[in-house]
Structure 1
């Protein structure tokens, strides 16, 4: 669980690092060019995906990658690494919300309070570097909005994928939805490459390999192993550690500083996460 918190917690800072050398669409395309063959490899011997499922799986991939991951890449480019990390930490909160809406699972008053706390925390985090000038320079409203869109989209992707994985298996849905999302991304990445000079440096390639192999593939299978080993409520507690790792890494790599508003925002987001996930039965259902 600590290893997974480290792997996934570094995702946003590493993305920010990769964006220093590559534009967002190109970095995202490289990430999934690495992830897709590995994910397809793990489908060997697994349940085949029938033709009737292709439209839903393709739509799932376009949603998760074509919208969610692209919005995240542009959002990270428009925010500080610390702000991006904290906003992305709200994904499990939205998972509970969408599970209630789509899977007809009830939401308790405590979970609603957690959602409100998390939104208040996001608002403060978007403003909360050490001084206002620094906040304006590092984080834009558009960047924070894109990170929030990414969190919403990825959370819905997770909930929608639950229905499909029950029918066709986790590895199969993960691999094929990622493939379809990657295919949808390619024309946009090609368009970006024609407009922006591309220089693939060793640090940028290292970031793409980390995001593709460590985050998208190794992290996924480690997460599935945790779900098989521990109750979902215990395994999901790794979500508390990810933003802590991300903020610490952002401070070390980029010199991000925690001002008062940022610190209060972090507390509200983590408190909202805690309130949302306190009911273990609903956590099990949502996961």
Structure 2
């Protein structure tokens, strides 16, 4: 039955409008989770520095993953997602674990021990630029002038922080910043390796 003043086209559009509202609601959830992630990531730098000045950095990393791993498996169990591991993945997973977990954590925790957390958090920001540069060589992604300019400006920013930062009450600013930059390089290698790994497995499954 069609009411006066309404057409079938108007009625057919109602489910579409309702669906759009639901999508917007999910988007707000995603954005809220992203904001929370940003907050927790930013909090890791001052907290990491406080811990690294009194405790061995490697011990902090071990304690961190002793907490994180059970939580991750708990989330997977709650969501009912199976854990599947194929033998051909092992080499790639070991390489990614070496760069993203071992090397990155060592560089990060030793870096915040020797330099100010605020300086280190700015240096790590060059990570996306490093990923873009590496991806252009490893994944054959397009290399643009913008990427090159971003890399140069990022290095210039690191130089300014290293030489002109007002945070002088630290053990060794240059060493700390160099270590954090090494962490950014390690994480960039991990990210590019992950992209190639995911792309290869997606191609195998199609």
TM-score interval, normalised by the smaller of the two chains: 0.7 to 0.9
Deviation at 1:124, TM superposition (A): 0.8
User: Could you tell me how far apart the structure 2 residues matched to 1:153 and 1:8 are?
Assistant: 18
User: Could you tell me how far apart the structure 2 residues matched to 1:136 and 1:115 are?
Assistant: 29
1:46 aligns with 2:82: yes
The answer as to whether partners of 1:69 and 1:150 remain within 8 angstroms in 2 is: yes
Correspondent of 1:80 among 99, 116, 120? 116
Correspondent of 1:151 among 176, 184, 198? 184
Unaligned regions of 5+ residues in structure 1, if any? 170-287
The answer as to whether partners of 2:127 and 2:188 remain within 8 angstroms in 1 is: yes
Figure out how many residues of one structure are paired with residues of the other and give that number: 166
Partner of 2:136: 100
The answer as to whether partners of 2:108 and 2:180 remain within 8 angstroms in 1 is: yes
Secondary structure in 2 aligned to 1:127?
Answer: helix
Correspondences of 1:132-171 after superposition (within 5 Å): 135=168, 137-166=170-199
Write the deviation string for residues 74-108 of structure 1: whole angstroms up to 9, x where unpaired: 11111111111111111111111121121110121
More relative contact order, 1 or 2 (CA 8 Å, 6+ apart) = 1
The answer as to whether partners of 2:48 and 2:112 remain within 8 angstroms in 1 is: yes
The answer as to whether partners of 1:83 and 1:139 remain within 8 angstroms in 2 is: no
User: Could you tell me how far apart the structure 1 residues matched to 2:164 and 2:188 are?
Assistant: 25
For residues 161 and 167 of structure 1, do their structure 2 counterparts lie closer, same or farther at Cα, with a shift above 3 Å needed? same
Partner of 2:63: 30
The answer as to whether partners of 2:114 and 2:170 remain within 8 angstroms in 1 is: no
Unaligned regions of 5+ residues in structure 2, if any? 1-33
Partner of 1:126: 162
Correspondent of 2:97 among 51, 55, 61? 61
Partner of 1:115: 151
User: Could you tell me how far apart the structure 2 residues matched to 1:154 and 1:109 are?
Assistant: 23
Indicate the RMSD between aligned Cα atoms, in angstroms: 2.1
User: Could you tell me how far apart the structure 1 residues matched to 2:97 and 2:73 are?
Assistant: 14
The answer as to whether partners of 1:48 and 1:168 remain within 8 angstroms in 2 is: no
User: Could you tell me how far apart the structure 1 residues matched to 2:148 and 2:96 are?
Assistant: 27
Write the deviation string for residues 224-279 of structure 1: whole angstroms up to 9, x where unpaired: xxxxxxxxxxxxxxxxxxxxxxxxxxxxxxxxxxxxxxxxxxxxxxxxxxxxxxxx
The answer as to whether partners of 1:75 and 1:147 remain within 8 angstroms in 2 is: yes
47-56 or 23-32: bigger deviation? 47-56
For residues 51 and 42 of structure 1, do their structure 2 counterparts lie closer, same or farther at Cα, with a shift above 3 Å needed? farther
Write the deviation string for residues 202-240 of structure 1: whole angstroms up to 9, x where unpaired: xxxxxxxxxxxxxxxxxxxxxxxxxxxxxxxxxxxxxxx
TM-score, scaled to structure 1: 0.53
For residues 168 and 33 of structure 1, do their structure 2 counterparts lie closer, same or farther at Cα, with a shift above 3 Å needed? farther
Secondary structure in 1 aligned to 2:168?
Answer: helix
